[in-house]
Amino acid sequence: MLGLLLIFFSFFLLLSIISYSRFDEAYLSTLFGDFFDSLSSDNNFSFINNWLGVIGAHISMFFIRSTFGIFSAVIPLLFLLWGFALFFKINYKTLIKVSNFLLLFGLILSSFFGLLKTNYNLMPGMIELSGSVGNYLGEVFGRLLGGLGSIIFLTGSLAALIVLTFNIKLDGIINSVKDIFENNLAGNENTVEENTDNISRIKELNEKKRKKIKREKEPALSGSDLIADETEQETRIRIVRKDEPEPQVKNAVHDDEIKKVDLQKVGEISEPDYDKEDESSLPNQWEENIHYKRPSFDLLEPNPKEDIVVAEEELKRNAALLKEKLRLFDIEIEDISVTPGPVVTLYEIVPAPGVKISRIVGLENDIALALAARGIRIIAPIPGKSAIGVEIPNAEALLVNARSVLNRIQESKYELPMAFGKTISGDVFLTDLAKMPHLLIAGSTGSGKSVGINMIISSFLYAKDPLEVKFAMIDPKKIELSFYKKLRKHFLAVCPDLDEEIITAPQNAVLLLKSVEMEMEKRYDKLAKAGVRNIVDYNIKVSDPVKKPKDSDEIKHHPMPYIVVIVDELADLMITAGKEVEEPITRLAQLARAVGIHLVLATQRPSVNVITGVI
């Protein structure tokens, strides 16, 4: 309510000041007693010029004559700003800065015109320019600093006010003035040389224009014509293919007793055939009498289009079109190397000497238009190479399925190998979670977060044994990770006090994370007792009967598996559990790497509300 009143009041003041007229003074009396007497007897108020009548005339005369003159208009502006701030709840910090600027701006300008009136007798009758306050301050400054000193002081104060309020960088202004001054001096000395250079440049540009016009008059070449004429051109186009034999998978199990799985009936696979009452009789995770057979690759669906390669004609046509398009913009190419991939193809181009990279980068949209591509990406330059990369999507993208990626996983020497797909050159992309040491997967719905999580889990299932890695899974959505319940007593690390293998309840998630945190502390005690720094050295030491530390009542030494904590939707967990989840996740993220505990967190919103600053 107060804000609304200030807004109306400020408009009233502003209109009265804007419509000020010095001729209204002849019809007004400054005494309120005379004012009320004239309401009934005098009819001179009909000659008032102010838009708001007698009241407006009195208000405008007071502000303009008794304060800052015409610069008193900053006062209703201040009321207006504060009214909006109160009404719309605007940040007061910025508003205070603007208010100080307006007040000081009006005060300095009114003082400046007051100085001109009192010291130099300029515009003696124009009281409206300075007002009483401006006249007084101008007279004071004139006595203290003199006329010239006061002008310098007020001008400097106004400049400093503008610079400080709007955060103007003086370095850029000084450098610009310096450059202009130096260029003018250099220009006077080198006028003759510059004129000669300009003439040569003009001749060179005219020659390029004549060549361009000549090319435009020639009939346009089709893709096949460009390929046919490629032998006559100086640019070399090389197609690099990685023809590799089918990889030999190490330690892959192809059990004759495993039947071929009908992929259409995957949902009919029954639970493992064991008695749940006998689960407690299963051996502990560190006992070596668990004879585990890794899953067969026959369980994965083969890719029927895996042997399909990008046609060489398409590659040559795109390379020739790319070269011709760059030539239209006077960019000559010395060499083009083509590396086809399953989805996109990389064209490595080597420009002629003197060609700037920025010119090629600026033609990204023109190249995409010429090739009729869905979109291209320019890598300028390719790291480690003296070439520029242009990634162009293939006309037909090849499906990269899990089987073509996971068949390399068992060859890896990584501690926790993860297969995410293929690179642009068709190589399988593997990375090690143990070196990361944690992973955040973020993206909107449908961007592939769940696919990434399933590939991570599948990578560990094909590469490691239950003695080497365990999963602790939290699935607030209850459906994404539910089918991994069958890994109980093999790969799943579960809390004995919880009634669910895949954690879905927020409170159970808190208990699981705190349990993993306690396991981390126990593992650090074991590492300290064994005198090692990480889980790899610890497992090597306890596997050696000679070097293995002695067991005690509190600590039993045995090889420790890696623990991978997977959270499918962290944002939902932070909303429901909040601080209870943040503390164990923070500790695990900071300390758990050395003892082989790693986090894989997936979320739609990687904002500070989810991934807090502490995490």
Q: How many helices (H) and strands (E) does the chain have?
A: 18, 11
Choose one of 169, 195, 220: the last residue of a domain.
Answer: 169
Element (H, E) at 476: none
For residue 247, is the peptide bond before it cis, meaning its omega torsion is within 30 degrees of 0? no
In terms of domains, do 389 and 418 share one?
no
Residue of 236, 426, 429, 229 whose CA lies nearest to 348: 236
Grouping H, G, I as helix, E, B as strand and the rest as coil, residue 603 is: strand
Which of these, 516, 497, 605, lies nearest to 566 by C-alpha position?
516
CA distances from 364 to 156, 187, 327, 347, 554 (A): 49, 37, 14, 13, 65
Q: At which of 103, 137, 169 does a domain end?
A: 169
413 belongs to a structural domain: yes
Torsion (CA) 26, 31, 33, 37 in degrees, nearest 10: 0
> In terms of domains, do 377 and 495 share one?
no
Residue 431 maps to which CATH number? Answer: 3.40.50.300
* Domain boundaries, position 408: 402-603
Cα→Cα distances 11→56, 67, 80, 128, Å: 12, 18, 7, 20
- Sites in the chain below the pLDDT cut of 50: 30-32, 192, 217, 219-234, 243-288
Q: What letter would DSSP give residue 562?
A: E
Domain boundary among 143, 169, 195: 169
pLDDT on residue 377: 87
Count of domains forming the chain: 3
Check whether residue 383 and residue 477 sit in a common domain.
no
Return the closest-CA partner of residue 606 out of 433, 440, 456, 439.
440
- Residue 129, pLDDT score: 84
| Identity of the amino acid at 305 | K
- Return the closest-CA partner of residue 585 out of 562, 613, 554: 613
Distance CA 209, CA 128 (A): 64
Specify whether 344 is located in the same domain as 492: no
Kindly report the average pLDDT of the chain as a whole number. 78
pLDDT value of residue 403: 85
Which of these, 497, 447, 496, 507, lies nearest to 474 by C-alpha position?
507
What is the predicted pLDDT for the residue at 164? 85
pLDDT number for residue 33: 52
Q: Is residue 15 part of a domain?
A: yes
343 and 408 both lie in a single domain: no
On whether both 334 and 430 belong to a single domain, the answer is no
Buried b vs exposed e over 73-85: b needs ≥16 C-beta within 10 Å?
Answer: bbbbbbbbbbbbb
What span, in angstroms and rounded, lies between the C-alpha atoms of 484 and 507?
21
